[in-house]
Structure 1
Amino acid sequence: MSDSKWTASRIPDLTGRTFVVTGANSGLGLATTRHLARHGAHVVMAVRNEAKGRRAAADICGADPDASLEIRHLDLADLDSVKAFAARAHVDALQLDVLINNAGVMTPPRTLSPQGHESQFAGNHLGHFALTGLLMDLLQQGRDPRVVTVSSIGHHGGQIHFDDLSGARKYQRVKYYDQSKFANVLFGLELDRRLRAAGSPVRSLLAHPGITATNLQRTGPTGLFRVGGALVNRLFAQDVEIGALPQLHAATAADVEGGQFFGPDGWKELRGHPTVVRPDPAAEDPDTARRLWGLSEELTGVAYAPAPSA
């Protein structure tokens, strides 16, 4: 392997820094948590299922007794849970340096969140939008503060169905997954523009794992979608330890810049080590991003402090 390939061995010493990782009990989130803790970070594992979170933390500590971890409940599809998580962080005066918006759901049957939003858009986008906004004041005080939002190659060709956001008229699982991942990129880039305009020290970055073998393909899909996901994992997907590298790079490397998007360096960004990749051109449209931002503030009830972008 070329020395230019970035691996987890190049993560710097993270002692004294605190990371919040959503969906930290499995897949990319678990791999990310493991590597952060191994390099000295304190990791808040934000998980929907606390029992699974405790088991995952125990596994990490079994291999690394010095790992500094804590489990906190967070259901990103439920805005009440998001607000409760953020409120507790403020009560505890959490010293937050990096937020990794990692958790996601993929291609489930159409279901609605407690607030009535389509589940993929709710959990993958709205929950992270609200969480980031509610924790922004804590991040502003952090050391080398960053927000890393994890998208997907599925964002290419995605669009926001403003006239049918919840799929009430015509729900197609993959299209609405792509919508949520497209929203992640619009959000991450617009957040970067707004943070820069406000003179904030916080950097907004994006990452995607290419095709990586996780339980995302098993826990959300049903029927043939689940079978297809299992086949993709077996035949094409890379190991989760490699798939987690783009978000680890975005979260820890010293030379990253706000607005950068990291993905695999292999063919079609499907596999490989981290490199800067280009978002889908449609996701770079500031007008669409501002429209989504305003709608997201309306749907979540969370307004951001940074000044609007020009």
Structure 2
Amino acid sequence: MALADLSTKTGVQQFAHQLASMTDHIDILLNSIGVMLPERHLSADGYDLNLVLNYLTHFWTIQALLPLLKHSDQARILLVGALPFVINHAKVSLPDFDAPATSKYNAMTVTAQATAARVLLTLALSERLTATNVTINIFHPGYVPDSNFGAGGSWVSRLAGRILGESFSRKNSPIGAWLATAPELTHTSGHFYDDRLRQVPLSKQYTRSKANDLWRLSSQY
């Protein structure tokens, strides 16, 4: 077991060093961390924690663990997305990590932006991993009853999340395990899957150009 503070790049790098001392390769990297803090909080580095934990942490972790992933015979990176409707109707724009504090902070908008960024990250990284033994995909996990996502929000947002989850998602979907182990997906990369194990076409907002712009921006942090 390795413990780490994943809210800072330094913490992620220390985590990677711990793992490197424990193993010589990683077969599956599942990035499932995510929060929705109702108010604006800053990380130790001074960035919006909703953006950090819902996006930058994923970028940092993948970058730090790529050497171990490339030592596997066939490694898979999995990112957690959201309902296909949410993914394909979100406004896809680059995150503003240095946005100044305002009196009107909308946590839902920020986390939606970070979720869209994870999709763009999947596209950008799949292109860069083409000649390697590492693949990356993103998926909607379905309805997870014991998730505390949105626990810090109002009872209305929690109730809405539960209703949406139960109405439009498969409960305890096997999608994650399938993506991690299915032999037929050995060379499948850069795709979005729903909780019923179906590949979902992305909206035209998710362009390679935006994905590459996000990659360059993220590399500055």
The answer to whether the 8 Å contact 1:205/1:259 transfers is yes
TM-score, normalised relative to structure 2: 0.85
Q: CA deviation at 1:218?
A: 4.3
What residue in structure 2 maps to residue 12 of structure 1? none
Give deviations 1:29-52, integer Å, cap 9, x for gaps.
xxxxxxxxxxxxxxxxxxxxxxxx
Quick one: structure 1 residues 106 and 211, their matched pair in 2 at CA, closer, same or farther if it must change by over 3 Å? farther
Higher RCO (CA-CA < 8 Å; seq separation 6+): 2
Paired residues for 1:1-310 under 5 Å: 71-153=1-83, 154-156=86-88, 157-162=90-95, 166=99, 168-169=101-102, 171-196=105-130, 199-219=131-151, 221-222=152-153, 224=154, 226-233=155-162, 235-238=163-166, 242-256=171-185, 257-264=188-195, 273-283=196-206, 285-299=207-221
- Paired with 2:173 and 2:110, the residues of 1 have a C-alpha distance of 24
Q: For 2:149, what is the secondary structure of its paired residue?
A: helix
The answer to whether the 8 Å contact 1:118/1:167 transfers is no
- Paired with 1:244 and 1:94, the residues of 2 have a C-alpha distance of 31
The answer to whether the 8 Å contact 2:145/2:171 transfers is no
Quick one: structure 1 residues 166 and 150, their matched pair in 2 at CA, closer, same or farther if it must change by over 3 Å? farther
Identical counterparts, % of pairs: 25
Give the alignment's Cα RMSD to 1 decimal: 2.4
Unaligned residue ranges in structure 1 (runs of 5+): 1-70, 265-272, 300-310
The answer to whether the 8 Å contact 1:158/1:175 transfers is no
Give deviations 1:266-290, integer Å, cap 9, x for gaps.
xxxxxxx22111223212x111111
Relative to structure 2, which stretch is displaced further, 254-263 or 173-182?
254-263
The answer to whether the 8 Å contact 2:2/2:19 transfers is no
Deviation beyond 6 Å, 4+ runs, structure 1? none
The answer to whether the 8 Å contact 1:246/1:275 transfers is no
Unaligned residue ranges in structure 2 (runs of 5+): none
Give deviations 1:31-77, integer Å, cap 9, x for gaps.
xxxxxxxxxxxxxxxxxxxxxxxxxxxxxxxxxxxxxxxx3213322
